[in-house]
Amino acid sequence: DPVLILDDISHSYHRGLPTQVDVLRGASLEMGPGELIALVAPSGAGKSTLLHVAGLLDRQDSGSVSIKGQDTWNLSDDKRTGIRRDTVGFVYQFHHLLPEFSAVENVVLPQLANAVPERDAIDYARQLLDTVGLGHRYDHRPAELSGGEQQRVAFCRALANRPAILLADEPTGNLDPTTSDQVFDALLTLVRETGLSALIATHNAELAARMDRTVKLEEGVLVSV
């Protein structure tokens, strides 16, 4: 069964705008378990909007978002927040790590917030950091890490509570091409090893080609390419 179904999603912005902007106009997508999908689109086409709707950060105007078989439309904001916390991991272009905490601590803290015992949280944080090649950086703070390393820690943090779905918005968009390739490899390894399903927005055709399939956001709908 699909872990994520977007069915005929529409979303517009109007607040404070002279004319309404119809960003999504009937976007549909089914993502299977363990599937890795590249999302490509020109800047401004609505990738972030789509990822926010898919991850229950925004409500669509119409259409449905089902996560692990549950339609989320009629749920309260609290319920939606609960599903998001238990099921969805987000990664952005910028790492948003907490500067005063070490790499391990940044991956441990979300687990403690989810009532995982500290010992288990630390073990799992180290395991994730090992997977992305940061076994020697556990105790470094973000400022002591390179840009690529910071982003790899952010991936681990996004996966700390074992989400079923990863939504990533240009996760290597801030890095130089060589670093970007390495960091992307780390992300793919992490996704494959944890059995996650992932929808990853990227401008980079070579990176997109390394995923299972690619969908393009065009005129507000998703088309397979």
Closest separation in Å from C-beta 49 to ligand ADP: 3
- Nearest C-alpha neighbor of 54 from the set 180, 142, 169: 169
Contacts of 1 (CB under 8 A, 6+ apart): 33, 68, 69
> Per rule CB under 6 A, is residue 13 in the interface with ligand ADP?
yes
Closest separation in Å from C-beta 197 to ligand ADP: 20
The letter for the amino acid at 21 is V
**Cβ nearer to ligand ADP, comparing 33 with 147:** 147
The letter for the amino acid at 23 is V
> Per rule CB under 6 A, is residue 151 in the interface with ligand ADP?
no
The beta strands (E) that lie in the chain are given as 4-13, 21-31, 36-40, 62-67, 70-71, 88-91, 165-169, 197-201, 213-218, 221-224
Closest separation in Å from C-beta 120 to ligand ADP: 26
User: 174 near 94, Cβ under 8 Å?
Assistant: yes
- Which residue is at the shortest CB distance from ligand ADP? 146
User: 222 near 74, Cβ under 8 Å?
Assistant: no
Contacting residue, 4, 39, 40, 45, with ligand ADP by CB under 6 A: 45
Contacting residue, 146, 193, 206, 223, with ligand ADP by CB under 6 A: 146
Specify the pairing of strand 88-91 against strand 165-169.
parallel
| Window 124 to 143, contacts with ligand ADP (CB under 6 A) | 137, 140
> Per rule CB under 6 A, is residue 43 in the interface with ligand ADP?
yes
Interface with ligand ADP by CB under 6 A: which residues?
13, 17, 21, 23, 41, 43-49, 137, 140, 144-149
